[in-house]
């Protein structure tokens, strides 16, 4: 019998077919897998950031709408006091009293607060109607028959050390001590409420009297309107005489009317037909980045704001006033 010799060639092929990956092949596979994992992680990270940003923007939108609803309800309580006096407190003035006419019902003061940098001001102001970034709004409310209180809105800087900072906090103010406006001292009591808000910063910003509404406020403006739909601000008497200023409405600064304040004051029976509120808010994620930026030099924060103008959320609402004696 002839012995059968093993087929060495076929055994070599079988051995090679059972051999594993070489070190080079494993390194190449691991490199390709790492690239795929990194690409998936980058995509997931971007998606997560987008979701967080959208969630934060949604929260800000909801907070802004909630604040606007609150302000609409608050302004619905405003009423004219219908009393007369020849004494009116001048906010932040060395002259405590000026003889300007009857006591105030509602006052919009266009403050000098906010950034002094021309780039930021040019971005948010139009040089015509929007001449200041922050307004103070004060009005009278009758909580109970014969019992009146002062209420209002104002923006305070987050850091008292830098009062000209570009971003502040919107506060809602309400005097906890109502007064009676009846009798001979009614006008003095109305001016007392007015003076507490404008002339006593410690009283106005006390936690007892003010509550925090919104952080990251870039601008807050309140524009009152008259019976013909005209804005009762300096543009009314500087642009045209087509819409005269209603009786007992003082608009300044107007030397002809002897009213030096940069604001609009309603006295006696005068009252706006509506008030337009404008609020610009920096989203929370941008506000966190803004807070960590150094204050000095101020150009760093300025560039940050100007680079994120498109991300500032703007809320605007025209609020009809329940009593508009200015139309009578």
Flag whether 307 is in a domain.
yes
Flag whether 36 is in a domain.
no
> Model pTM?
0.75
pLDDT tens column, 43-94: 877 777 666 666 666 677 777 788 888 888 888 888 888 776 544 445 555 4
Q: Is the pLDDT score of 153 beyond 90? A: yes
Q: State the CB neighbour count (10 A cutoff) for residue 296.
A: 8
Question: What pLDDT sits at residue 325?
Answer: 45
Flag whether 315 is in a domain.
yes
Flag whether 43 is in a domain.
no
Nearest to 153 by CA among 115, 120, 121, 111: 111
pLDDT tens column, 167-217: 889 999 999 988 887 766 777 788 888 888 988 888 998 999 999 998 889
Flag whether 203 is in a domain.
yes
Flag whether 32 is in a domain.
no
Give the residue, 147 or 127, on which the prediction is more confident: 147
> Tokens 């906090």, residue?
169
Domain count, the chain: 1
Q: State the pLDDT confidence band at 144, using cuts at 50, 70 and 90.
A: confident
Average pLDDT estimate for 143-166? 80
Give the residue, 128 or 314, on which the prediction is more confident: 314
Flag whether 322 is in a domain.
yes
Contact 71, 277 (CB under 8 A): yes
How far from 176 is each of 148, 179, 192, CA to CA, in Å? Answer: 10, 10, 13
In three-state secondary structure terms, 165 is: coil
Flag whether 311 is in a domain.
yes
Structural domain for 286, as ranges: 59-327
- Residue 103 is encoded by which pair of tokens? 């006591």
Choose from 5-9, 94-98, 215-219, 233-237 the range with maximum mean pLDDT.
Answer: 215-219
């Amino acid at each position: 019998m002839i012995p059968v010799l093993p087929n060495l060639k076929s055994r070599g092929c079988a051995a090679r077919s059972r051999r594993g990956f070489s070190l080079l092949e494993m390194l190449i596979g691991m490199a390709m897998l790492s690239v795929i994992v990194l690409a998936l992680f980058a995509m997931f990270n971007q998606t997560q950031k987008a979701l967080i940003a959208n969630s934060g923007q949604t929260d800000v939108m909801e907070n802004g709408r909630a604040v606007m609803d609150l302000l609409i309800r608050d302004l619905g309580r405003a009423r004219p006091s219908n009393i007369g006096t020849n004494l009116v407190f001048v906010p932040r003035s060395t002259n405590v009293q000026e003889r300007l006419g009857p006591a105030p019902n509602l006052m919009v003061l266009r403050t000098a607060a906010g950034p002094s940098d021309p780039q930021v001001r040019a971005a948010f102001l139009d040089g015509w109607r929007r001449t200041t970034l922050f307004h103070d709004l004060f009005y009278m409310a009758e909580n109970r028959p014969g019992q009146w209180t002062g209420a209002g809105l104002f923006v305070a800087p987050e850091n008292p050390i830098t009062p000209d900072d570009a971003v502040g906090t919107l506060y809602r103010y309400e005097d906890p001590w109502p007064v009676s406006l009846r009798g001979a001292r009614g006008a003095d009591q109305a001016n007392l409420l007015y003076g507490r808000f404008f002339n006593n910063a410690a009283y106005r910003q006390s936690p007892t009297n003010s509550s925090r509404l919104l952080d990251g406020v870039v601008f807050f403006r309140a524009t009152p309107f008259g019976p013909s739909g005209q804005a009762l601000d300096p543009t009314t008497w500087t642009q045209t005489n087509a819409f005269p200023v209603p009786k007992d409405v003082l608009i300044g600064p107007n030397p002809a009317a002897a009213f030096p304040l940069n604001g609009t004051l309603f006295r006696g029976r005068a009252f706006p037909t509506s008030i337009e509120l404008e609020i610009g808010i920096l989203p929370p994620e941008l506000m966190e980045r803004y807070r960590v930026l150094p204050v000095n030099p101020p150009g760093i924060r300025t560039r940050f704001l100007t680079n994120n103008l498109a991300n500032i959320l703007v809320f605007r609402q025209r609020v009809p006033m329940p009593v508009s004696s200015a139309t009578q």
